[in-house]
Amino acid sequence: MTVDRTELRIATRKSALALWQAEHVAARLRAAHPGLAVVLVPMSTRGDELLDRPLAQVGGKGLFLKELEHALLEDRADLAVHSLKDVPARLEPGFALGAILARADAADALVSNRHDSLDALPHGARVGSSSLRRQALLRARRPDLVLLDLRGNVNTRLARLDAGEHDAIVLACAGLQRLGLGGRIRERLTPPDWLPGVGQGAIAIELREGDDATAALLAPLHDADTALCCGAERALNRILAGDCTVPIGAYAQRADGRMRLHGMVGDAAGGRVLRGHAEGAADAAEALAAEVAEQLLAQGAGRLLGH
């Protein structure tokens, strides 16, 4: 396909992690297409600005996308870079995912200055996280903990931990590692016992639907294996009609032409966690997602999801 673009404009949030991800995509594009000019268009989103309430109360993770999508619609940018875990299961009409990059570490991380693991935290320890999924998993494993909402970018959350407001916090391993802060990880909370967010660890690139020129430039960045696995996780989320107001976790792995998908639905207030898993052909993501969803719904997930 002939590509007629000589410049690409990347819409991105202004946080350090978002800028790292956008710069990473820009570097990959420049390497794949020598001579291509790639510029960043940083902007603030409502999700970045509304930090005084839990995300589930102010509109969900889609708040991190809206301003960037407006920039695409108004031709102020050609693509937008997101953490895939922030991308809703169903995109707004007129948009598409042009590429999903190879996944980094999908696990959550326990970060603490005094304690080496979740099990080592003292009775009644204060743990910060605004994720309902993480809160459900924390309550299921340690019902004695005091859970505190914690919003803001990675450095803001670490600063509050360091100021003594929390005994520990839970963040994504990938975000810490990308910012050169992997040394802050005290314990990896690993799947399938501890399930990450849907698509966690993967970077997604959004573009206008039908923009074939930009799509062609993104093709070398796309990782088919990550897309298959994250596609299964996103299919489960879509079937369950999940959003950030309910705790849903998922993790898919692919090997030797097979895929195993784990899923969970939780109750952040009570600590109840429902789990399901299925294994099958790697190209049968929708069928696997439907099977795991059926298992979860049979256990009563519909009530937790508000169906």
Catalytic residues: 86
Report the SS3 class of residue 90: coil
Residue among 271, 272, 249, 281 nearest 262 (CA): 249
Answer whether the bond into residue 122 is a cis peptide, omega within 30°.
no
CB atoms within 10 A of CB 28: 18
From CA 172, how far away is CA 151, in angstroms rounded?
13
Transcribe 183-238 into DSSP letters: GG-SEEE-TTTS---TTTT-EEEEEETT-HHHHHHHGGG--HHHHHHHHHHHHHHH
From CA 294, how far away is CA 304, in angstroms rounded?
14
In DSSP terms, 250 is beta-bridged to 263
Q: Which residue has the tokens 């859970």?
A: 147
CA 301 to chain centre: 21
Helix ranges (DSSP H) in 89-171: 132-141, 154-162
Dihedral over Cα of 275, 204, 175, 50: its sign:
negative
Report, in angstroms and rounded to the nearest whole number, the Rg of the chain calculated over CA atoms: 19
In DSSP terms, 189 is beta-bridged to 108
Token pair listed for 170: 């839970």
Buried b (16+ CB within 10 A) or exposed e, 207-226: bbeebeebbbbbeebbbeeb
